[in-house]
Amino acid sequence: DQPPLHLAARFMSGAYKTLVAKASPSLLTAPDEYGNTPLHEAAISGHWPMLVGLVRKFATPQYKKHGDQINKRNRSGNTPLHLAFQFDHPDMVKFLVENHADPTIKNNEEVT
């Protein structure tokens, strides 16, 4: 079972607006069994509006206490930036770097 935000990201659902707007911080930052958060899933699927919405939400003071979500690693050590690059979403790569994604973070295979 995948959490609703993960499914919205994976299947590029239009319901993401309501989910992102109304979800608690714990749901917006919750990892699935692979350690992927909704932001990871948006980077994988190429769900541009959801990725932008989450990055902007994580930049607000309310979310600062939930850690550095833009650089959060999944179980493979991949950040959303790794995944956007891996799944060939160059606009997302650019946007993530412009919004403080760290391009020097290495995953579990020592790849940046």
**DSSP classification of residue 10:** H
**By three-state DSSP, how is residue 58 classified?**
helix
Q: What is the pLDDT of residue 67?
A: 79
Q: What is the pLDDT of residue 63?
A: 83
Q: Would you say 27 and 18 are in contact if contact means Cβ atoms under 8 Å apart? A: no
CA distance 37 to 108: 17
**Domains in the chain and their CATH numbers?**
4-98 (1.25.40.20)
Q: What's the pLDDT tens digit per position in 29-75?
A: 999 999 999 999 999 999 999 999 999 999 988 887 777 999 999 99
Q: What is the C-alpha end-to-end distance of the chain, expressed in Å?
A: 30
